[in-house]
Structure formats: structure tokens, C-alpha cells
Structure 1
Amino acid sequence: MLTSARNQFSGELAEAKHGAVNDEVVLRLPGGQEIVATVTSASAARLGLTTGKKAVAMVKATSVIVMVDTDVSKVSARNAVSGKVSDLKKGAVNADVTITDDTGLAISAIITNSSVDRLGLAVGKPAAAVFKASSVIVGVDS
């Protein structure tokens, strides 16, 4: 499956909670990390999203928020990866920031250059990548 999403994580569904409108699914990655996604119940049924199913979670880099306070328990977003800035490339207006945790899980974010400067981001500095469960697209092999 080829997509334009910068962040793609393969794993197995560890949990699936059915709701009247949306379902919540938890994708467990090989390193033990979990990505939470909310999808419509109709989509979950169409994709067969049940515990044990192999799936891919995709998140556009523009949907990722970067924090320098790595206490991610203080945000409402369900997904957060604390680590260090492992790559930083500034463009004319935006920057491409990659945050990697201690297991090697890397999340890319596109943020403004002014945000990079305001947050004091630099390679090696602690940071966290945060994204909402509703920003996760779930895919399965057909």
C-alpha cells in the first residue's frame, strides 16, 4: 500500500471498542507502543477491524503537534510519543521535524519555522509528537 502519509505504522489490533457512531481501535506496534484511532463503525465493519487483525495506522505529518514539555499526560490527544528530535530540516516557511523515542519509533511533523524557533527545537533536544485518534487513518490489506 503506497500512500502520501509520512507516518505509517504496521501492527496488530490489540483492542476494538464498538460505539453507536464511532469505534475506537488500538494498534499495537512490534515495539509495544500503541496507536489509538477512532473510525466510523461502518468503516470498522467494512475493514473487519477486530482484535488480532493486522493493520496500518497512518498520520499526515501536518496533523502532528510538537511539544517540548514531554509530560504528555497533560494533553487530551490519545497519541503521544516522547523522545528527542532526531532530524530537523527548515524550509522557506515550514520545517520537517522528526521525533524518535527510545525504541526507535519515529514520528514526523510539519510545523512552522517560527514554532521551531519559539520552542527551541534542535537535534538531540527532548520533544514529544502528539496527534488525536481522529487524525489516524487505518488501513488493511484487501
Structure 2
Amino acid sequence: MQTSARNQFSGVVAQATAGAVNDEIIIAINGGQQIVATVTHDSAARLGLKTGAKVVALVKATSVIVMVDADATKVSARNFVQGKVTNLTKGAVNADVTITGDNGMAVAAIITNASVDRL
């Protein structure tokens, strides 16, 4: 499999909850972290997303939101990694940021240089 998604997390489906249109898939990955994915019911069936299935969750770096002084209890996003910036490379317009969680999970984010300066 080749993909441009920088964040690739291998795991196992811990729970799959079916809905009429979308299914909620909870993926257990290394370090005790979980990722919650919402996929269409048809896609979940086609991919065989059932408890115990091995999966890879892909998250584009441009889809990651970076916050400072965040309180996980006051964020509506279910996927939340708290950590420290371990790499920051500024380009002409955007910056490549790597955040490594306390459990060792690294997440890549692409944010604007203006956002880096503001944060």
C-alpha cells in the first residue's frame, strides 16, 4: 500500500458500532492509545471492520489540529494526543510539526507559519 498520508497507525478494531448510515470504529493502537474512526456502513462491511480485525488508520498531516495548553476534557474531538513538539521545520508558507505523545506516539501536522508564530 502506498499513500501520501504521513500518519499511519496500525492497530486492531477494539469495537465496531453499526449505525444506519455510518459506523463508529474504535481502533486500539500501540501504547494504549485509541483512534475513533467514522466510516460509512457500506465501507465497514466491505472492509470487514469487526472486532479483532487488523487495520491501519490513515490521517493526513493537513487534517491535524494543533493546540497549546489544551485540556482533553474540554475538547470535542475524540482523537486527542497530548505531547511535546519534537520537530518543527518551517517552509515558505507552512510548517511541518511533529508532536510526540507521552506514550511515544508521533503525529505529524502541517500548519501555517502564522499559526506556529501565534501558538
Higher relative contact order (CA 8 A, sep 6+): 1
Q: Tell me the equivalent position of 2:92.
A: 92
Aligned partners of 1:52, 1:32: CA distance in 2, in Å? 15
Q: Tell me the equivalent position of 1:137.
A: none
Aligned partners of 1:96, 1:73: CA distance in 2, in Å? 27
* Aligned residue-pair number: 119
Deviation of residue 78 (structure 1)?
A: 1.2
Q: Tell me the equivalent position of 2:26.
A: 26
TM-score for both structures, normalised by structure 2 = 0.97
Name whichever of 68-77 and 33-42 sits farther off. 68-77
User: Any idea what SS the aligned residue of 2:32 has?
Assistant: coil
Provide, for residues 85-125 of structure 1, a one-character-per-residue CA deviation record: whole Å limited to 9, x for no partner. Answer: 00000000000011001121000110000100100xxxxxx
Where structure 2 has 5 or more consecutive residues not aligned to the other structure, the ranges are none
Q: Tell me the equivalent position of 1:110.
A: 110
Aligned partners of 1:70, 1:105: CA distance in 2, in Å? 17
User: Any idea what SS the aligned residue of 1:80 has?
Assistant: coil
Provide, for residues 39-61 of structure 1, a one-character-per-residue CA deviation record: whole Å limited to 9, x for no partner. Answer: 00000000000000000000000
TM-score for both structures, normalised by structure 1 = 0.82
Where structure 1 has 5 or more consecutive residues not aligned to the other structure, the ranges are 120-142
